Amino acid sequence: MKRRAAFIALAVVALFASRAFADGDLIHRTISALQGNSAEAMPPPAAMELAFSPGGGATDLVIKAIQSAHKTIHVASYSFTSRPIAHALIAAHQAGIDVAIVIDHEEVEQRRHSVAPLLTNAGVPLRVDIVHALLHDKYMIIDGKNVETGSFNYTAGAEEHNAENVLVLWDDPKLASAYEANWQSLWDKAESYGGQ
């Protein structure tokens, strides 16, 4: 039984190792076959996309997720120095999308290259988490149904030097709702930054 479970886990990891997962049905059929279940036994997972850094398109995938937004983008971020990601969020805000960001307190206290001033000067609502020792989250909830997450900090260093990952789970409102509840809790407890 343990050997079979290990095989299933290995097969799932192998599926997650490719760059994009547009075919959620293929993943669902594969997992079902490995478990000996019929396709009706489990609901199919959401479509997924995965990218790595350095050099694997992590920043591009984050920006793709931002550019998919029609209504809302809610961000929880530890370190945030990436100008390309900041500019994508500003563009979304200027297009009328509800963009709001919670960042870690160290981001504004100790980081010289923080994009917090750039974002607030563009009118993007931004709050600072002063409750937790670290706000170590790195995620976005987009339109209440898509989630971008992973280890990837929104920084040039993460893109160019670190071993990081970005995972976007498309069209999963239930998962997005759980992230949104967490984000709202962070937002409600956070302190306004830059007069926002």
Name which of 140, 150, 151, 165 is nearest 54 in CA terms.
165
Catalytic residue among 143, 145, 174, 189: 143
Do residues 103 and 80 lie in contact, with contact meaning Cβ atoms separated by under 8 Å?
Answer: yes
Q: How far apart are CA 146 and CA 128, in angstroms?
A: 24
Catalytic residue among 137, 138, 145, 172: 138
The reply to whether 132 belongs to the active site is no
Q: Count the neighbouring beta carbons within 10 Å of the beta carbon of residue 182.
A: 15
Name which of 59, 125, 46 is nearest 92 in CA terms.
125
The reply to whether 64 belongs to the active site is no
In the block, which residue shows the tokens 């949104």? 180
Catalytic residue among 28, 64, 87, 136: 136
The reply to whether 161 belongs to the active site is no
Core vs surface per residue 108-131: b (16+ CB within 10 A) or e = beebeebbbebbbebebbbbbbee
The residues carrying an active-site annotation are 136, 138, 143
